Structure 1
Amino acid sequence: MEEELSESSFLRMHRPFIGALNKIRTYSSRHVEAAAQELPIGRLFRPRVEPALG
């Protein structure tokens, strides 16, 4: 399923989580807030997530 999603619209931030970039409200180095939920950013995914949200 991940291969079918647009890389410019979606981002894997943790093994079980893929987020829609337009739904992310705030973020820190460890979490993103999307749809009133706080989701973790996995340490292996952090190098890809931070530049994408930058």
Structure 2
Amino acid sequence: MATLNHFEDLDIWKKAREYCKIIFELTKKGGFKNDFSLKNQINSSFWFYYGQYS
């Protein structure tokens, strides 16, 4: 069994980070581009977690 020293080593953590980055990029396109309230809410959430745990 593998030893974990940091939660960042978890595969699920790595996958969640990938999804965050994909969602962040998607907010720059299409309907999100003009829905500033929703875009800002999603991006604020992204930066909160990304900045807190990076």
TM-score range, shorter chain: under 0.3
Q: Which has the larger radius of gyration?
A: 2
Judging by fraction of residues, say which structure has more helix.
Answer: 2
TM-score using structure 1 length: 0.27
Richer in strand (by share): 1
- How high is the TM-score relative to the length of structure 2? 0.27
Greater relative contact order, per chain length (Cα 8 Å cut-off, separation 6+): 1
